[in-house]
Amino acid sequence: MRNELTQAPDWLLPWWRVFGDLDGRRLRIGLFRDGDRLIGLAPLLWRRHWYRGFLPFRRLELLASGEVEGDAIVSNHIGIIAERGAEATVARRFVDALADGAFGSWDEIVLSMMSGDTAMPELLIAAFRAAGYSAESMETAGAPFITLPATWDEYLAKLPGKERKNLKRQLRLFDEWSGGTTELESVSTVGDLERGKKILVDLHQARWASEAQSGVFRSPLFSAFHDATMYDLAERGVLEILVLRARGEPVAALQTYVWADKVTAYQTGRRPDLPQNLSPGSVIFAWAIRRAIEQGRREFDMLADAVHYKLQLTQQIRPLVQVRVARSCVVEWLRRAGVGIARWMRRGEEPKEAQG
């Protein structure tokens, strides 16, 4: 499996400190050993989840997932953690531990935002089904990424002709508008972080306010999580806020993380009042990609979702999947019956008998 920031204590522990006291969450951590060597970790929590507001499920889910939408950190690439080569063993022992009650009582398990191009999701499905559980996997999002070549020219050459032409055009138009003043500033030191964060938040909020919507930093919980992580990660050289400047002013900002030689683009902001033919968002991504190439990074991850501006920069998409497991119980039968009835009401189909 891959080494991801979102699976590290640097991410999971601050998340728990911010969200752990909400919705009756309780930690449920599983450790798996081969002798004295730790080979696997299941970073879970237990909480009560209400389907359609009235049907209670005792749910086990991954740390850094399950937040209310407006507060969501949207942690990509989380999951059951295993030493490379021990994935199948950890998957089997995890299911055995669940069956033996090591994680307490549960009605369902929801493991979301797992990387679908790794072995663990399918290994878990196989282990659950072998143990007699109803288990399903579904793709919930796509995370565009770029396997970075050695040079910027190589990157451009790999783009389809239309996208390459459009990107070059956007860079040219922006440079013409800026009068050759375009520059990319990296804010990565603790001393400069407050200034960089203010630029990012201001541009992010301005972009969403222009569409009469609220940006994510308006959520106290979202902001609290980033307040809890930014300074430590900046001190360790993991966090960078990239600021695109033109005509002496910031016009776009990009919050990135550098982890295991991969650059992850997490949050953006841009001025909404520039000429309509300019795309400062696309321009800052292009500058960030070129910077990552020049630094010799191996990958540039744009995270979920596979929206248009990301797909103009790459054709590589990593599926993000959710694994759901349910016990055969009354609440699961009622949930399935409700799903069947709702589908019938939408489509005019006869409801199918729910399976227990």
Q: 0.85 cut: is pTM over it?
A: yes
- What's the residue count for the chain? 356
Show the CA angle centred on residue 281, arms to residues 280 and 286, nearest 5°.
95
Residue 261 has pLDDT above 90, yes or no: yes
SS3 65: coil
| Residue 354 neighbours by CB under 8 Å, 6+ apart | 333, 336, 337, 340
**Mean pLDDT of the chain, nearest integer:** 93
| Backbone dihedral region for residue 188 (phi beyond 0: left; psi -120 to 50: alpha; all else: beta) | alpha
User: What's 22's DSSP letter?
Assistant: S
Higher pLDDT, 40 or 335: 40
Q: Which has the closest alpha carbon to 220: 71, 72, 74?
A: 71
Per residue in 197-216, pLDDT (tens digit) is 999 999 999 999 998 888 89
In Å, how far are 58, 96, 108, 119 from 332, measured between CA atoms? 11, 21, 8, 28
Set out the domains of the chain in order of their start, with CATH numbers.
5-132+134-144+319-326 (3.40.630), 167-297 (3.40.630.30)
Average pLDDT over residues 167-182: 97
Q: What is the pLDDT of residues 219-257, one digit of tens each?
A: 999 999 999 999 999 999 999 999 999 999 999 999 999
pLDDT digits 0-9 by tens, 16-45: 999 999 999 999 999 999 999 999 999 999
pLDDT exceeds 80 at position 328: no
Using an 8 Å Cβ cutoff, are 159 and 316 in contact?
no
Residue 355 has pLDDT above 50, yes or no: no
Is the pLDDT at 86 greater than 50, yes or no? yes
| CA nearest to 1, candidates 64, 62, 87, 61 | 87
Tokens (6 digits) for 308 = 């248009």
Residue 157 CB partners (closer than 8 Å, separation 6+): 164
Identify whether the C-beta of residue 30 lies closer than 8 Å to the C-beta of residue 94: yes
